[in-house]
Structure 1
């Protein structure tokens, strides 16, 4: 068993520098990636702005349609209360 461990040790040493270099690169680039993520979270892309504007306009149109419907119903009720037959 001890012989196998000594034979495997040089093979492990060949792979170890790659792992160390990769880990070091990840540690060095972590602050840059974190900073770019913060910038991404704090800014709005054009696609997001367009989507938000579209949602806002649809809500406004729906609100205006409800108000028009209420006003039309109120107008018809007043017309009928005034005694007119064709309040269509």
Structure 2
């Protein structure tokens, strides 16, 4: 029984070591890719941020127009 365990461990261990070595070797590449992804903005994110900025700006302009209209004494602005 003990021999069977040692034999199976001997067969499985090199694969495990090879997988770990592969993971360690590819880790810097994956980390660099993730850092680049975090540092850049996708087109979808840029569009979403631009839309948010424009809606905020339009809301501010609408408030300013309403305030100017009320100060001028108009009822239907």
Give TM-score, length-normalised by structure 2: 0.90
Hey, what's the Cα distance between the residues in 2 that align with 1:17 and 1:56? 55
Paired position in structure 1 for 2:7: 10
Determine helix, strand or coil for the equivalent of 2:37: helix
Give TM-score, length-normalised by structure 1: 0.79
Provide structure 1 residue ranges, at least 5 long, that are not aligned to the other structure. Answer: 80-86
Hey, what's the Cα distance between the residues in 2 that align with 1:58 and 1:13? 64
For the pair shown, which has the larger CA radius of gyration, 1 or 2?
A: 1
Paired position in structure 1 for 2:33: 36
Deviation at 1:75, TM superposition (A): 0.9
Deviant stretches of 4+, over 6 Å: none
Paired position in structure 2 for 1:82: none
Hey, what's the Cα distance between the residues in 2 that align with 1:25 and 1:71? 67
Choose which of 32, 41, 55 in structure 2 pairs with 1:58: 55
